Amino acid sequence: MTPPFSNAEKFLLVARQVCFVLWYIPVALLHSSLVAWDRGLPLRLFLICGVFNVVLAVLRPREIQFLCTSTQETYRAWMRRNTSKKEIAGAFPSQLSLDIEPLGGGASLLWVGDRRTAKKVVLFFHGGGFITPLLPGHMEICWRACVGAGTESGTEVAVAILEYTLYPAATYPTQLRQASSGLSHLLSSGFLPQDIIIGGDSAGGKLTAQLLCHVVRSHPELVPIHLDSPLAATFLISPWLSRYTDDQSYAENGSIDMISSKSVGEMVRRLCGDPHEMKSEKSELASRAFPLDMEVPCFEGLGVATRQMYVTVGYHEVFREQCMSYVRQVRRFNPEMKVQFDVQEKFAHDFLLLEGLEERSGECMLAMKEWMKSLLMEDV
């Protein structure tokens, strides 16, 4: 169990915040403004990226978690706040009722939509580098792009958000074990594989790709999952797929994206252990933790695990090259699989989440919603 945030940690956090206001953030905003202007990018969104870049590079995981509400607190607050909103007044009360299913092992499923009447279910893994809890923007993604798509297509959808254990309370493969438990629970609850969609953003996209690998070739530390038929689909939003930070896109975008080689390197160390060990190509733990780095790739046979795949990446984000490589490999080994790959020309990492945080259906949200609607309409 993680100890409570101490007074000494609070003092250090205040000192860091003073540094943010006086130095780090002004410099980041100036740099982001200049690069965004030079590239013709939306200034406001890239200014937000600049702030996130500083926060993720400088603040420690426990400090970030102290400043954020917990996953369940965010879920409860969003459900209470949105129950009476006019724009979703047409929703059935059961779709916005608190529904939490404990899975054991520190994980739970937090439901948006009515799982008792839904025809399709989405198992959603939120991003945040395994250090940041669920954010209100993730709730908006689930409601607007998933439940909303179901409403417009005439197929009721419910979303099961996985509450997984964050670092430092847990490291790899705990989160994968909890994701596997979530999928197994849906199957044992009576949902058929062809009625289940899994996906997530950033680290949640990584968890999605890991879970697909586990279905194809069982992780030695986890209980195997046997599917009678492939899942309906998977979606990976700006997924984190490799531990390496030497891609061209890191060099191009590390100073303007919300994440950088520094912050990603720290996340790798926290997730898997000592960074010197991570440099070894034979590091078994690192190989299993990152879908693109596996010593024995699991691309072949993914069609057994999922029928369709939707992948998005921002052209101005650090994960661009690894996402492109992942999609090439999936298509190469699974030519029968329907794969939609959207490279968002004016955006950076996980701008879908930024739209959710602003409670708006922008270009990213509408694109994912349209993909979801087309998927649901195939079974009508």
pLDDT tens figures, 314-367: 999 999 999 999 999 999 999 999 999 999 999 999 999 999 999 999 999 999
Contacts of 290 (CB under 8 A, 6+ apart): 206, 241, 242, 243
Domain 69-377 -> CATH class: alpha beta
Q: Write out the two tokens for 139.
A: 């709730």
Judged against a pLDDT cut of 50, whether residue 370 lies above it is answered with yes
d(CA 11, CA 7): 6
What is the mean predicted confidence (pLDDT) over 146-155? 94
Taking the model in full, what pTM does it have?
0.94
pLDDT at 230: 97
86 band by pLDDT with thresholds 50, 70 and 90: very low
pLDDT above 60: residue 253 = yes
d(C-alpha 254, C-alpha 48), whole Å:
14
Contacts of 275-284 with CB under 8 Å at 24 or more apart are 278/243
For 130, left (φ over 0), alpha (ψ -120 to 50), or beta? Answer: left
Let me know the angle formed at the C-alpha of 264 by 258 and 49, rounded to the nearest 5 degrees. Answer: 5
Query: Lowest mean pLDDT: which of 13-22, 71-80, 129-138?
Result: 13-22
Rounded to an integer, the average pLDDT of 135-162 is 96
- Determine the average pLDDT of the residues in 117-143: 97
pLDDT at 241 (0 to 100): 96
